Amino acid sequence: MAVVTVGYIRAGTKNNIIPDEAEFGITVRTFKADVRKQILAAITRIIKAEALAGGAPKEPLIEHLESTDSVYNDPALAERLRVPLEAALGKQNVITEGPITPSEDYAFFIEQGVPSLYFSLGGADPQKYAETRAAGTMLPSNHSPYFAPDVDLALRTGIKAEVAVLRNLLSGFSQ
């Protein structure tokens, strides 16, 4: 499984002038390092072949500016925090999802052995959420320009979730 997202494309300043350079930024997300390596090699191969086929005067510059590993939820931590999250938000509102490919820099903590749990916070208007579910569609995610959560609901839910998680995690420390 791999996700390749083109986040931006920049080239030229006028519609009737051929630009001397073009730039685009992508994100590659995979679950496995060997798949990421394969995808990055394929992207490099395609870009170089297209430049050559188009008669580019020089080989394209390909820079890898940033990278993070996959985000991994510690199973023991996930199970531990399920209880306080269900108590705070209601059992029906705590859903275990399958693997996803978030692009998060806290993967650096995971590399250092810090137990980690990534969870998504729902903040949609309940009526709009129900309507989209009934229609078999989805509301825009936080990476969409159409993302529009119910701010008050999202803040209340987020604060409840964070307080429940933090109280549980801090309960092991003596005072």
Strand partners, 8: 25
**pTM to 2 decimals?**
0.69
CA distances from 32 to 1, 29, 59, 80 (A): 8, 9, 29, 26
pLDDT tens digits for range 61-79: 999 887 777 777 888 999 9
Are residue 105 and residue 45 in the same domain, yes or no? Answer: no
Is 138 among the domain residues?
Answer: yes
pLDDT tens digits for range 82-108: 999 999 999 999 988 877 777 777 777
Which structure tokens are listed for 37? 């390596």
Are residue 22 and residue 105 in the same domain, yes or no? Answer: no
Are residue 29 and residue 97 in the same domain, yes or no? Answer: no
How far is residue 72's CA from residue 100's CA, in Å, rounded to a whole number?
10
pLDDT tens digits for range 159-171: 999 999 999 999 8
Are residue 82 and residue 148 in the same domain, yes or no? Answer: yes
How far is residue 116's CA from residue 22's CA, in Å, rounded to a whole number?
39
Residue-range definition of the domain harbouring residue 34? 2-53
Is 31 among the domain residues?
Answer: yes
Are residue 44 and residue 103 in the same domain, yes or no? Answer: no
Is 108 among the domain residues?
Answer: yes
Number of domains in the chain: 2
**Residue 3's closest CA among 32, 26, 28, 25?**
28
Is 111 among the domain residues?
Answer: yes
Are residue 99 and residue 27 in the same domain, yes or no? Answer: no
State the average pLDDT over residues 24-37. Answer: 89
How far is residue 161's CA from residue 167's CA, in Å, rounded to a whole number?
10
Phi, psi of 163 (to 5 degrees): -65, -45
Q: What is the pLDDT at residue 126?
A: 86
Are residue 39 and residue 120 in the same domain, yes or no? Answer: no
